[in-house]
Amino acid sequence: MLCQFTVKNFQCLKGEITFDMQAANISEHNQSLIVDKDGEKFLPLGVIYGPNGSGKSTVLHALYSLACKIMRPICAVGCENQECVKRNGNAHIKPFLFSKETMNQPTEFELFFRTEKNEYQYLITFLKDKVLREELYKKAILGSRYSTLFKRENTVNIELKGTLKSYTCEGISDNLPLLSFLGITHGRNAIIKDIVNWFERHLDFIDYSNPKEDASIGVAKAGKIKSVVLKMMEEMDLGISDYRTEEKENSLKVYTEHLVADDKYELELFEESNGTIKIFGMLPYIANSLLSGKTLIVDELDAKLHPMLLKYIIGLFSNQSVNKNGAQLVFTSHDLSTMNSDTFRRDEIWFIAKGEDNASNLYSLVEFKTEDGRTERKDVRYDKRYLEGRYGADPYLRKIIDWGEY
């Protein structure tokens, strides 16, 4: 479970921003909250709104980059699953470049996350791709105190504690996170295994830079959950009754089946509409997330989706009779049809906007203060107030062109 993510000096994120999945003390949709063994409450949903170029994708990319930095070395050395290697691509850490002060300053990450038995706090600081500082702490879910697992300053000063105390870190490079090093050399250690398992099996990203390839990967992942995916397609009224896959020349071909007047017809997946291709590739991730309690990160979830289908997907995560395993969905969106109190809690809605220094600022609706200093009420129309510019994260349009001159 993702609890909280903080990043500083990463691309357009100059100052420190924090994305928090811990539930605020508000009385909205409490039946949708994820309640852990210790009674702590977490959000099943998090959505980021903002104009184009505001930094929505960058917030998600920061988390993806951190995950890649940790997992790619482990997958490259000890994982036979090529999808794992491919999914955890090369992530280069780039600072905020519109300031002489920050372009040579380090980038900082902090992550709180929970596994079945433990909560972890992980901190790492990079200067470009060189690790300057790294720390890892753990506490039992039912415990009250954090214990130190390791502290690192460059490659010179490394302190291991607890069950990691007897290990050595000889040969670790400046560019390799200590967590990755331990995952490679001591992956059977219960704590390291628990952490790596969370990054590998409980945190997933969907990127639509290559929709055809993503759809094929999604279908390939379906496997045992194919029946669930087909039922979801039926609920979404996609008109697809079945599908099959076929290996051809080291590539996976996907064929969809349509039932028309009791006759079956088959199309290659990429003869379907772009929206259907996107849904087809996404549903296995969603089903897998719901069934295994994953945190699913999706950029522009609403793109090419009918608003009703978007609302359907959101509803799967907020309905605890469906989301029985504590799955979370974090996404960016421009869709205003779901920006309302019927769909989201105020702490699930986030806005991002750029300031005069071209740096992006992230803030939650529950933190937002009105002109009289009060918290925004839950009974107002969020979409209307957003379009009125009340929340600040809307596109500022200026009339510059005199079309009569052309």
10 Å Cβ neighbour count for 53?
13
DSSP 8-state class, residue 340: S
Phi, psi for residue 363 in degrees, rounded to 5: -150, 150
d(CA 286, CA 255): 20
Query: What is the identity of the amino acid at 88?
Result: N
d(CA 133, CA 156): 11
d(CA 395, CA 84): 37
Q: Is the dihedral of CA 391, 393, 395, 399 positive or negative?
A: positive
d(CA 22, CA 33): 10
Half-sphere exposure of 352 (CA within 13 A, CB side): 31
Q: How far apart are the first and last CA of the chain?
A: 56
Domains in the chain: boundaries? 1-202+295-394, 220-292
35, containing H or E segment: strand 34-35
Q: Are 299 and 214 in contact (CB under 8 A)?
A: no
Q: Stretch 343-357: mean pLDDT, rounded? A: 94
220-292 and 1-202+295-394 share a CATH fold: yes
d(CA 60, CA 44): 16
Dihedral class, residue 39 (left if φ above 0, else alpha if ψ from -120 to 50, else beta): left
Percent of the chain with pLDDT over 90: 66
Q: Which two tokens mark 94?
A: 């780039």
d(CA 59, CA 6): 9
Q: Which two tokens mark 160?
A: 């291991």
**392: pLDDT confidence band, cut at 50, 70 and 90?**
confident
d(CA 76, CA 59): 26
Q: Stretch 325-334: mean pLDDT, rounded? A: 97
> What architecture is domain 1-202+295-394?
3-Layer(aba) Sandwich (3.40)
Max distance between CA atoms of the chain, in angstroms, equals 77
d(CA 133, CA 211): 37
Long-range Cβ contact pairs of 162-167 (< 8 A, separation 24 or more): 162/138, 162/191, 163/189, 163/190, 163/191, 164/189, 164/191, 164/192
Model pLDDT, residue 207: 74
Phi, psi for residue 17 in degrees, rounded to 5: -125, 145
Q: pTM here? A: 0.92
Q: Are 247 and 209 in contact (CB under 8 A)?
A: no
286, containing H or E segment: helix 274-292
Q: Are 22 and 307 in contact (CB under 8 A)?
A: no
Q: What is the CATH T-level fold of the domain 220-292, as seen in this structure?
A: Rossmann fold (3.40.50)
Q: Are 222 and 229 in contact (CB under 8 A)?
A: yes
Q: Are 73 and 180 in contact (CB under 8 A)?
A: yes
Residue-wise pLDDT for 136-156, tens only, equals 999 999 998 999 999 999 877
Model pLDDT, residue 400: 64
Please check the confidence at residue 195 and state whether its pLDDT lies above 90: yes
Residue-wise pLDDT for 278-327, tens only, equals 888 889 899 999 999 999 999 999 998 999 999 999 999 999 999 999 99
Q: Are 313 and 278 in contact (CB under 8 A)?
A: no
d(CA 345, CA 252): 40
Q: Which two tokens mark 109?
A: 């990450």
Model pLDDT, residue 50: 92
